[in-house]
Amino acid sequence: MSDREQAARDVLVKERRVAKRHGGWGEVDPSHGKRAAKAKGTLRQCAHDIEAAAKKDGWDKAHRKTRCDYINKLTGG
């Protein structure tokens, strides 16, 4: 994964963990949800960028297929 993808994944996973620990998104400060949403948007953009690059150069470079599948699993995309 790229540094951008890793950073967004780390934020999303951390915020989901916080929400789960406190009983759901409704039980935590809204800032947690905003950070998670921003990270999820970043990951979706990364997946879009990977797909665009794959159309141009193919899926074989830089583990694009694996990265895209993982990002889609994380974001529910």
Q: Which two tokens stand for residue 72?
A: 């889609």
Measured in degrees and rounded to the nearest 5, phi and psi for residue 15 equal -65, -35
Kindly tell me if the per-residue pLDDT of 77 is higher than 80. no
Q: What is the pLDDT of residue 64?
A: 96
Q: Which two tokens stand for residue 62?
A: 């830089």
Q: What is the pLDDT of residue 57?
A: 92
Is the separation of the CB atoms in 9 and 72 below 8 Å?
A: no
Q: What is the pLDDT of residue 12?
A: 97
Report the chain's mean pLDDT, rounded to a whole number.
96
